Amino acid sequence: MKQSENTKTEAVTAPPDPALTRAWWKPGLSGRVLLLTIIFVLIAEILIYVPSVANFRNTWLGERISQAKAAAVVLEKAPPDSLPKAVVDELLAGIETTMIALRIDNMRRLLAVSDMPPMVDFEIDLRSRQPLREIASAFDTLLFGGNRTIRVVGPPPRGGDFVEIVISEASLRAAMIRFSRNILLLSLMISAITAVLVFAALNGLIVKPVKSLASAVSRFGANPANARAIHRPSDRDDEFGTLERSVSSMQSALQTELRQREHLANLGLAVAKINHDLRNMLAAAQLMADRLGSLPDSNVQRFVPKLLGTLDRAIAFCQTTLAYGKAQERAPDIVPVKLEAVLGEIADQLMLSPESTPALALQIPTGLILHADPDHLSRVITNLLRNARSALEQHDIPSTGLIRISASEDGDAVQIEIADNGPGIPARIRQSLFKAFSGSAHAGGTGLGLAIAQELMRGMGGSINLVDPAPGSETGTTFRLMLPKG
């Protein structure tokens, strides 16, 4: 109950979600996507506008040159000073120019001119195209022009050298400003429409799924034990769908791991409760074994010392059991061990021999010495022998059942193999064989024995591995122990 109250208190005093306390000038993911979309569209429009304004200037000036060509055809055929001054002025005003001249065969002829033609500030030649210079000239007119006079040169009608006109820059600049304003309004409209469409697409494909996934992760972090907190992936087959499935799989695996840890904690609590009583019962068994040792029977005198040794080890192990079920193994005491003697003692305890059922065959070099903790090594081998005998008995293996223990020197290490001719270990549990509560190979097993054996072997600087079956063989189990020789 106290733990629940603490959990509730932590939930109330938890820091607020950053998404809810974000400053107004810091947009969220959706706002950033919208803002970036508008910026990118405007940049694209600017890149389009820069050459467009230069092209508009050339087109506008080209129209004036075309009008001047048409007027030049008429003026060239007319005798000099034959047209009234008012007609010439009206013609020049219609073209928005103050002078029209034509050059043919290196002869320049002034066809029409106003009373006081202004001084020319600079010249634009439409016969040669230079894009960068045209862009620079167009922006010079747009930003700094308006009071200057331009001499525009273009191709003449019916051949010749050129036709030229003189116009005021104010008319050109006014037309370019109107064009720029229209382009700006059009760009803003296109940007808004594009931004809304792109935002809607990205929001549906990315932003909303990301928010949903982030919310699912937050819910799972707040209460990982709740099965409803696991994210349910969508049916998308793209990278985001893969991410959703990976997150869901990770959450499921983590939830299973948490449940297993909770189970271990409960198991540890139960072990802590029975530890004291179990130690008392073992002590009572030890006293009875001492009394049995006083009997004159030879068999009793033979087995009582071994029984006492077993009880001593069981009591010592109970004393190392920590609260909440975690067994903290004592540090190994590495000493020289005569392997043949250790195996003989274990065989007597388990009542295994060449004549027993199943039979035990020992192939141990005489006098083989290795360095290990005798008690830890005995626990490992005892567990493997019990597993082998249990497998042979549970699968009704006849009297031909055999457990074989062989040992050999491999460089600076000693290799011990414990094999049986039983049904073997299924492939489905081979990967989790040494994992606590996951690797039991027979009915009724807890899956702890091999996990403990691996921990003990590592503590002695050795290893334990399951040997893969020979090709074509589907029966039999072989474990290989490796320990330092010296």
Q: Which pLDDT band holds residue 33 (cuts at 50, 70, 90)?
A: confident
Residue type, 377: L
Q: What is the pLDDT of residues 60-97, one digit of tens each?
A: 888 888 888 777 776 766 666 666 677 777 777 777 78
Percentage of residues of the chain with pLDDT beyond 90:
11
Residue 443 is predicted with a pLDDT of 54
Distance of CA 436 to the CA centre of its chain: 29
CB-based contacts of 234-239 (< 8 A; 24+ apart in sequence): 234/209, 236/209
User: Which residue is it, tokens 């059991």?
Assistant: 321
* Residue 287 structure tokens: 């006293």
* CATH pick for 332-484 out of 3.20.20.70, 3.30.565.10, 3.30.365.10, 3.40.50.2300: 3.30.565.10
Least confident of 232-241, 332-341, 452-461: 232-241
**Helix extents (H) in 17-168:** 29-77, 85-95, 131-144
Q: What is the pLDDT of residues 281-334, one digit of tens each?
A: 666 666 666 666 667 777 767 767 777 677 677 666 665 554 334 445 677 889
Most confident segment among 96-110, 269-283, 309-323: 96-110
Q: Where are the domains of the chain?
A: 29-190, 332-484
Return d(Cα 174, Cα 192) in angstroms, integer: 27
| Model-wide pTM > 0.95 | no
pLDDT at 413 over 80: yes
Q: Which residue has the higher pLDDT, 8 or 375?
A: 375
pLDDT at 120 over 60: yes
End-to-end CA distance of the chain: 55
Residue 360 is predicted with a pLDDT of 92
Q: Which residue has the higher pLDDT, 27 or 260?
A: 260
How many CB atoms neighbour CB 417 within 10 A?
15
Distance of CA 255 to the CA centre of its chain: 20
Q: Which pLDDT band holds residue 117 (cuts at 50, 70, 90)?
A: low
Among 453, 462, 456, 416, which residue's Cα sits nearest to residue 435?
A: 453
Distance of CA 372 to the CA centre of its chain: 44
Torsion of CA 48, 50, 55, 57, to 10 degrees: 140
